[in-house]
Structures are given as structure tokens and as C-alpha cells.
Structure 1
Amino acid sequence: MKRYLYLAHRWLGIGLCLFMAMWFFSGVVMMYVGYPKLLPSERLAALPPLDAAASGVDLSRAFAAAGEGGAPQSVRLTRIAGAPTFIFERRAKDSGPQFTAVRASDGARVTRVSEENAIAAARAFLDGEASYDGVIVEDQWTHSKGLDGLRPLHRVFMSDVDSTLLYVSSVTGEVVRDATRTERLWNWAGAWIHWLYPFRGGWFEAYWHDIVVYSSLIGTVLAVTGLVVGVMRWRFRAPYKTGARTPYREGMMKWHHIVGLIGGATAVTFVFSGMMSVNPWKIFETKSAFDAKPYYGGALAPERFRLSIAQALTKFADDGLATRELELRVIDGAGYYVGFGAGGATRILRAEADAAPAFTLPFDELKRLGARLVPSAKITAATVMETYDFYYFARAPHTMHGDVDKRLPVLRLEFDDAAGTWAHIDPHTGAVLGKLDSGRRTSRWLFAFLHSWDAPALLAARPLWDALMLALNGAGFALSVTGIVIGWRRLKRKLGERRAPALAVPRRA
């Protein structure tokens, strides 16, 4: 049995140590440079305030221009190339999001975004000269599924100091992603190889998920067998005849053994949690009766907004908010406007003539409405969170979920259903921030925590977190590199032994 254990670790290591070293190295890069994304704060900072006097057509006309296809899930008024534009988003069960843009100036639907339109949008987003670089459906910096309803994408290079590459949607005309030169260069050694993106697109696309899952699974087996072998070969009581605790005298084998005992557990947890990141075999899927529709209380329709957009913008301005983007929302069947300003400032306003802007909605009202989220279940706990916890906390902007705004305070509701559903409601916007059932909470530990040690206390204690992560990844990288050297030497020796008989000179009779 021991022999098979040794052989399994040896040959799995020869086949996968290069991948392991790549994962540890690229993981360190991703600690500081993330995959390109356009943050909400960046997008809002590039927008000029909306003008109440030029708010454009009425909502009924804009909704009519957006066409049929069901009620939109969201509607927002923004600026594209300086022009006020409505963006409608619809979602179907069997397909991704679908977007429609309607010009607020004349109520016309945007049907084509030309090269000139894309350049104008890019220049409005970022000052400088623009160099058009064609249209793509997907490239190395746009693999995110969140862009699927916005493709194809125009590529525009800007002349700023960062040589920023902007992507403009051919559907809406909006700038939807930016990638600076620093991000592009570092990501070749970061997220692009860490997430095995060389296998995205083309023939490999259909197999990318399985490649991630099974390469991680084999890596986990490699790390576990190595840790077991390492412990078995270490003399905890009496040393070997050489006086050492390890049987290996040769330098690289000796260091592989020692580093493996130190970093073996790290290798197991990092590779295993990487596999958990893609929800293999849907093990985190939990059946839940969670449904946000009763909370919102009806479709997003123009008749629910008795207050015009111009009036709403005026009220926000009188309350001190220079609104750069306006979102339309329905809560408990009533229309609301949510105004977004620079620096994360927001106001929420019921779309009624006698209403006034507020920073947040009443928590008691949100709890009452939130009880509808899980039919036939009762709320067992309602917590107004003033501080972050293990399940609701903010990450640095460049990280995987760093573009998700995690504001405080937030309302957390816990239900007594079989799935153990939790829900978070943002009082600043009235939005239900999604469900957090038992499966997702398990994923939070088996993926997020084990992969990045993102306990809020550790994240708040930087650079302690940095030192810990660098040490763990460094041990894993050293373990992988020593494994590469050992494997290469063994392969050379094996290949040499096979060639030797063919090269031997036959004896004369």
C-alpha cells in the first residue's frame, strides 16, 4: 500500500507540479492586481450630473420605445457620451440579461453603436485621444459573464498615462470595462493563468469548467498524498542513522520533504478551495422557496411613478445630491427613485409629489416587507448590522467581489425554512441583496475563507494579512518548485535508461 501511495504522489507530482507553482505565484499577483473590471465608483466618477431641465421624454414613451419582452428588471437614467440615456435590463429564465438603450432626448431606441459612437463614449469617459481597435465578442480581458448581454464590444485605446483600454457595448453604447496597462501586464501572470483562461474560448470553452474542477481535484490528491507520505517518512522519535529526521540526504529531496511538512496543509486547502470556487457538481445548490417578487410587489412600470424625473432630480439637488445616475425601483408596489452621486452618496425618494428624499428606508418597514421573501417561513432573527461579519463584508476593489457595494448599516433577516435562508436588504436603495442559504454559507467557508483567509478581523489588520498570505503562498510555491526539479531529474533519468539499450554496441560472436 505504501508503494502505491509513493508512486501516486511521484507521478501526479511530475504531471502537475508546474500547474501548482503557477497557481501559487499567480495567487500572489492577484493579491494586489485583480482581473480588469469597471467599478461602480469609477463609472459614476466619469459621469457629469444629470440636468433636470434636460431630463427628456416622459417614462411612458421611453418604456414604449424599449419594446416588448416583459417588464424590465431594472431601469436607470445615465449619460452616454454626454447624452441622457435610459438603460433597460430584462432577464429571462433560460437566458442571460438583455439590455436596451433609449435616448432620453427624443425617446428613440438605440439600434446601432458605430465606431464614431464608441469613440465619443470613450472620450466622454476618459479625457484624451482615442484610438479605435475594432470589435470583439470576447477577448482575454472580457471573459466575465456579466458582459454577456452587452456583446459585441468595441475596443478603444486611450492616450492617458495608463494607456487604458476601454470596452464600449455595441448594444447600449456605454463604457462597460476598463483595463489599464498595469492591469493588462500583471494579469498575464495573475488572473489570466490562475483561472486557466488560456482554456477559455474556442474549442476548449465547453470544457473549461471541467478542466478547472478535475485539475484541482488531481492537485488536491497530489497534496494529500504528499502530506501523508511526508509524515510517514519523518522520524518524530528516533532519528535515522545519519542523525537526521528525514531519510533524504540529497538537497532537493531533503528540502521538498521539509517544505512539504510545513506547506503541505496549505497546498491542500488552497487547491481544494480553488476547486470549490466553481461549485463542482453543484454541491452548494440548495432548494429554497426564496422569491423577491412579493417583496417588490409588482412590475417595474411607468404608471407607478407619479413624480416626474425632472421633479425627482430637483428634489435630490435641493437635498444636496448632484445626481449622476438615477435608478427606478418598485418596492411594495410603489415607485421609487434612487439617486447616485459621486463618492458613494445616495438618496432614495418615493415617486410621489409630497415625498422627500431620505438616506435610508425605515428598518421596520423593510422587515415587514422582507417577511415575504420566503413564503410559509417565519423570520427567526432580524439584525440591523452596523459592522461587518463573516458573511457580509467589503473586499478591496481589485478582488473578485470587490466591485459589489457592501454598505452599512444593512438589515439581515434569518428564516426558519429547511434551507436556512438568510437575506440582506440595503436600506439605502431598498434592494434585496440576494439569498444566503446553508449551501452558500458552506461555500463561503470552503471556498472564500480557505482560499483567501478573508476573515474581517484579518483584513482589518493589514499588513498582517499580507504577511500571512505571502508566507502561505511562498511555502506552496517552494514546495512546487522543488517538486518540479525532482520530477525533471527523474524523467531525465528514466528517459536515459530507455535510450541506453538502443545505444549499446552489440558484442561480436
Structure 2
Amino acid sequence: MSNAAVSGARAPRWRQWLLRLMPWHRRLAILACVGIFSWAGSGMLHPLMSFMQARPATMSPPQQALPLEELLSPAAVLGAAGIDKVQGLRLVQIEGEPYYQARLPSADEPRYWHARNGNDADVLARHAEALARHYLASDEPLAYAGTLTGYKGEYAFINRLLPVARVDTGRENRLRLYLDLYHDRLGTLVDQRKAWFSGFFQTLHSFGWLEAAGPLRPLLMFILLACVMSATLLGLGIFVARKRAVSGLRRWHGWAGLGLALATLSFASSGAYHLLHKQRAEPMPRPFHANFAVADLAAAPEQAWLLPGESLYQLSLIELDGQPVWRAQGNQYGVMDSLHYLSAAGDEMTDDTPRRYASERLDHYAQALGLGEGGEPAMQHGFDHEYGFVFKRLPVFKREYTDAAHTTLFIDPLDGALAARVQDADRLESWVFGYLHKWELLGLFGNNVKHAVVALLGLAHVLLAVIGLSLLRRSSRRAS
């Protein structure tokens, strides 16, 4: 009779019951090790990915003063090209020249016309490359590599912006940039190192290799997470029930498992909750698309549209009350930011224009989502616990609703896109994932400390699993 059996026979009934569960601990642990090697192993890389992330020289879009002298009207330029409807229009400066950039229905890439001579201009690549040079603060050779219209591979959903133009550098690390040409925003930067780490992380941590398997992917992940939690709880019970392990390695395994148990349950339970929340997420409503009649744009932008001492670096159309309105953003006297709205004819709009515009766009999405009346829209300029960095867009208009889920909607003022929909379930999941999975509380001691602790915990889980498999192998040899 084995020592474990002898000790089990003499133990109180509750201890005997727990010791009889040891075979189940071993069986579940085999499956749990698959999850641990995948999640803890790749989780160790996440802090390294953040540390090695390629970073731009600036995060702010260009702020070059737009030339407003001797411009033709959009109606004259686009009408001559046979364009009668556009979904978006703005004045941009590319290599010192003014162009109208139009977003046409059913087109992924913008079209350009010279704003002074009206000629159709093939400057998309030049625009993308100039924008990339701005974010890199470099004059190095660059090459436009096409437009991406969906999330895939190295450009994942977390980057949020679509469509985006890809621009490649000639650097040894093959750095490339993904850029939103409609608003001059940076989606992300990717080099070969980040591409490899991201691909490895998505394959192991998100089970990207099962992406095409549909519901099988989350089901397998749930099973493995359940095995991790069950094996951990059984291991704790066996550690308490057994007075003393037979070998020193078993004692090390028991004590290490006890020390890591809370972390293991924290990671696994929050991961399962995160996965369940994603499966239950409701689809977002269809995006709003403006629709402007080119004939209504008979006035050309001019210097008279400026405020005293103002220079504009953004001039784009928004839709308000079904009519085109120019959104003019710049600075006054070089020291003060400016934002004002003008009619299609160039007349100044009233001060309540931003609020009315926000209300219209928010009402569009609230109606699609079946929400009731909301509060007053507010402008949000920074990320917080509710509207986090993951949503990318800033600034945004925000409105809170009084429905049962306490919904808050956030929209992008540039194009009226729904940037985020946050409900009570999202707030709870965000807190659980932030504090129980990513251990954001450690951020109080600095990101380096947080990343180091999380990476060490991942390594500790991998080593614990290796020791457990080694003990299982020894047990199998003795049994044979």
C-alpha cells in the first residue's frame, strides 16, 4: 500500500474524500497545461511587446496652415468631374498645394482634385507618404503600399480605424505605417519584431489558429479555462488534505501551487468572463454616412472665413439638419486653438452648433439601438476608466442615457462615427479584466513594475506546469 493510501486511510472523512480526487486533479491538469503553456507563455511576451512597440515621433496630426487664396468652389470642381454626391469633403494641403479630398459612395480610397485649377489629381500616394513622414519626423524614402479595408493579420480590430493606407519604409526592420487618410490620423506602426510578436500572441493567447472554426474556438477556450480553475481548486484541496508530500519535488509543487493559486484563479476567471462577454456582445449599429449634394457647395473657401488672427489646418464638411456645414479648426495668433462652424456659403454658425450636431448624430445611433431620451451631450478630451485608450478616437462627444443598462454613447465629431457604446456590463467587464487580468493596480508603482510582475507570474505558471507534468510522468512510470 502506498504512503498516500495509508495516510488517506487514517485521515478524517473529508480528507479521504479530497485525496480520492487526486486522479481527477491529474487528468484536469493535463488539459490545463495546454492552456497554461498557451496563455502564460504568450502572456509573458505581452509586456515585452509593449516595451518594444515602435513609436512615432508625434501622435498629433499635421497642423499646416491651409492656403485659401484663389480657390475654386467644390461645386465647380466636382461638378465638372461629373460628381453630384459625396459622403465627405475637406480641403487638404499636399506638398504646399491645396486639394479637395472627396469621399465618394462605395469607394474605399479618397479622390483628389486640385482646388485652384480643378484638375483630377492622382496624389493619394503622395498624401499617404507625406503623412507618414510627418509621424516619423523624417524625410526618408517611403512607398505607399495600398489601402486596407478590413481588420486582418498585423492590423487588428484594436486599431479601430478603417479604411487605412499602408506606407512602407526602407528600414532594416521593415517598419510600416497604417494611416487614416480621411482625417490624417495614425492607426498604428508595425515593424517585423512587432509583427512576429503580435502574430505569436494572437496564435497562442487568442487561439487565432482556430479563427475559421467558428464557435469551436471559444468553446475550446472555455473548456481549457475551466480545467485550469478546477485543477487549481482540486490542487488546493489536496494540499490541505495531505499532511506531507512523499518527495521534495511534490512539496515544491504544492507550495508553489499554493502561492500562485490566487493569481491563477484571477487570470483564468477574468479571462473566462472576458471571453463570455465578447460572445454575448450585441452588434454595433450601422455607421452614419453623410450625403452632400455637390450643387449646394457653390461657395469657395476664402480668407474672409477666418477669425481674426486665425490660420486653419482643418476644413471639412459635416451634416447638420440635412445641410452641409464647414467645420473649421486651427489656431489664433499662433497660441490659441480655434474651432468654429460655417454654413456652405461661409457664414458663421451660432455657438450652439456643436451641441446640435452632437445631438443629431447621437440621436441617430440612439434610435438604432432603441434608447430613450438622453442627457446633454458633453465633449470629452481624454481617456478614462469608461472610455479607455482602446477606443482610439479623441476628442469625442458623450451622452448618457437612462435605459436599464445605463448606456453611454461616444461619437467622433470628425465623421459622426460611433466610437463606443458602454453599458453596465461593459463597465463591470472592463474593471474585472483591468484589475484581475491585466493587474492595472500595479500601475501605481509604474508600468515597468507592473510588466515585470506579470511576466514573472507567467514564467512561474509555466514552470509550475512543467514540474506537474514531470511528477505525472514519474507516477505513470511507477504505476507501470
TM-score by length of 2: 0.69
Label 1:16 to 1:451 Cα distance change in 2 as closer, same or farther (>3 A): same
Q: Deviations over 1:387-446 (max 9, x none)?
A: 989764353xxxx43x32145xx5414154x776543457x76946456264xx424432
* Residue of structure 2 in register with 1:423 after alignment: 409
In the alignment, is the contact (CA less than 8 A) between 2:26 and 2:472 conserved in 1? no
* Residue of structure 1 in register with 2:113 after alignment: 103
* Residue of structure 1 in register with 2:294 after alignment: 302
Label 1:43 to 1:254 Cα distance change in 2 as closer, same or farther (>3 A): same
1:77 Cα deviation after fit? 2.9
In the alignment, is the contact (CA less than 8 A) between 2:317 and 2:324 conserved in 1? yes
Q: Deviations over 1:249-291 (max 9, x none)?
A: 53541344223323122221343255357x23xx1116x9x78
* Residue of structure 2 in register with 1:23 after alignment: 42
1:129 Cα deviation after fit? 2.8
* Residue of structure 2 in register with 1:207 after alignment: 212
1:107 Cα deviation after fit? 3.9
Separation of aligned partners in 1, 2:384 and 2:179: 36
Label 1:406 to 1:364 Cα distance change in 2 as closer, same or farther (>3 A): closer
Label 1:180 to 1:479 Cα distance change in 2 as closer, same or farther (>3 A): closer
* Residue of structure 2 in register with 1:318 after alignment: 308
* Residue of structure 1 in register with 2:317 after alignment: 328
Q: Deviations over 1:78-111 (max 9, x none)?
A: 334554344444676xxxx722221334444456
* Residue of structure 1 in register with 2:69 after alignment: 53
Amino acid at match of 2:399: R
Q: Deviations over 1:12-38 (max 9, x none)?
A: 13323221222321332355555x698
Separation of aligned partners in 1, 2:387 and 2:432: 16
In the alignment, is the contact (CA less than 8 A) between 1:131 and 1:158 conserved in 2? no
User: What SS does structure 1 have at the residue aligned with 2:138?
Assistant: coil
Gaps of 5+ in 2: 1-19
* Residue of structure 1 in register with 2:138 after alignment: 127
In the alignment, is the contact (CA less than 8 A) between 2:177 and 2:186 conserved in 1? yes
* Residue of structure 1 in register with 2:261 after alignment: 261
Separation of aligned partners in 1, 2:171 and 2:71: 30
Question: What is the correspondence of 1:83-482 to structure 2 with a 5 Å cutoff?
Answer: 83-89=97-103, 98-105=108-115, 106-109=117-120, 126-130=137-141, 141-143=154-156, 149-150=163-164, 153-157=166-170, 165-167=175-177, 179=189, 184-185=192-193, 188-189=196-197, 191-196=198-203, 207=212, 213-214=218-219, 216-235=221-240, 240-242=242-244, 250=250, 252-273=252-273, 275-276=275-276, 279-280=278-279, 283-285=280-282, 299-305=291-297, 307-311=299-303, 315-316=305-306, 318=308, 320=310, 322-341=311-330, 345=337, 347-351=339-343, 355-356=347-348, 361=353, 363=355, 367=359, 370=362, 373-375=365-367, 378-379=372-373, 381-382=375-376, 384=378, 392-395=386-389, 400-401=390-391, 403-406=392-395, 410-416=397-403, 421-424=407-410, 431=416, 433-434=418-419, 436=421, 438=423, 441-446=424-429, 448-453=430-435, 462-463=444-445, 467=449, 471=453, 474-482=456-464
Label 1:169 to 1:185 Cα distance change in 2 as closer, same or farther (>3 A): closer
Amino acid at match of 2:193: L
Label 1:302 to 1:419 Cα distance change in 2 as closer, same or farther (>3 A): farther
Q: Deviations over 1:110-142 (max 9, x none)?
A: 56867x887666557643331659779799643
Q: Deviations over 1:144-185 (max 9, x none)?
A: 58676456x4523269xxx7834478999x89656376xx53
* Residue of structure 1 in register with 2:61 after alignment: 44
User: What SS does structure 2 have at the residue aligned with 1:223?
Assistant: helix
Please, which of 4, 10, 13 is the counterpart of residue 32 of structure 2? 13
Separation of aligned partners in 2, 1:38 and 1:359: 36
User: What SS does structure 1 have at the residue aligned with 2:109?
Assistant: strand
Label 1:433 to 1:231 Cα distance change in 2 as closer, same or farther (>3 A): same
Separation of aligned partners in 2, 1:475 and 1:464: 17
Label 1:223 to 1:393 Cα distance change in 2 as closer, same or farther (>3 A): same
Separation of aligned partners in 1, 2:28 and 2:273: 20
User: What SS does structure 2 have at the residue aligned with 1:99?
Assistant: coil
1:64 Cα deviation after fit? 6.7
Label 1:487 to 1:62 Cα distance change in 2 as closer, same or farther (>3 A): farther
RMSD of aligned Cα (Å): 5.2
Separation of aligned partners in 2, 1:460 and 1:351: 50
Q: Deviations over 1:34-75 (max 9, x none)?
A: 5x6989x73613x5321112655524533774857x751x33
1:476 Cα deviation after fit? 4.4
User: What SS does structure 2 have at the residue aligned with 1:42?
Assistant: coil
1:493 Cα deviation after fit? 7.9
Q: Deviations over 1:333-389 (max 9, x none)?
A: 232222344899551313255744788746478558855654486415447477989
Question: What is the correspondence of 1:473-492 to structure 2 with a 5 Å cutoff?
Answer: 474-487=456-469, 490=472
Amino acid at match of 1:217: F
1:466 Cα deviation after fit? 6.6
Amino acid at match of 1:333: G
The count of aligned residue pairs is 449
* Residue of structure 2 in register with 1:78 after alignment: 92
TM-score by length of 1: 0.66
Label 1:367 to 1:419 Cα distance change in 2 as closer, same or farther (>3 A): same
In the alignment, is the contact (CA less than 8 A) between 1:21 and 1:477 conserved in 2? yes
User: What SS does structure 2 have at the residue aligned with 1:195?
Assistant: helix
Amino acid at match of 2:324: G
Separation of aligned partners in 2, 1:229 and 1:135: 54
Amino acid at match of 1:196: T
In the alignment, is the contact (CA less than 8 A) between 1:166 and 1:177 conserved in 2? no
What is the percentage of aligned positions where both structures have the same residue? 11
1:207 Cα deviation after fit? 1.8
Separation of aligned partners in 2, 1:80 and 1:205: 44
Amino acid at match of 2:281: F
1:329 Cα deviation after fit? 0.4
* Residue of structure 2 in register with 1:503 after alignment: none
Q: Deviations over 1:306-341 (max 9, x none)?
A: 653335xx5346353x33232210122232222344
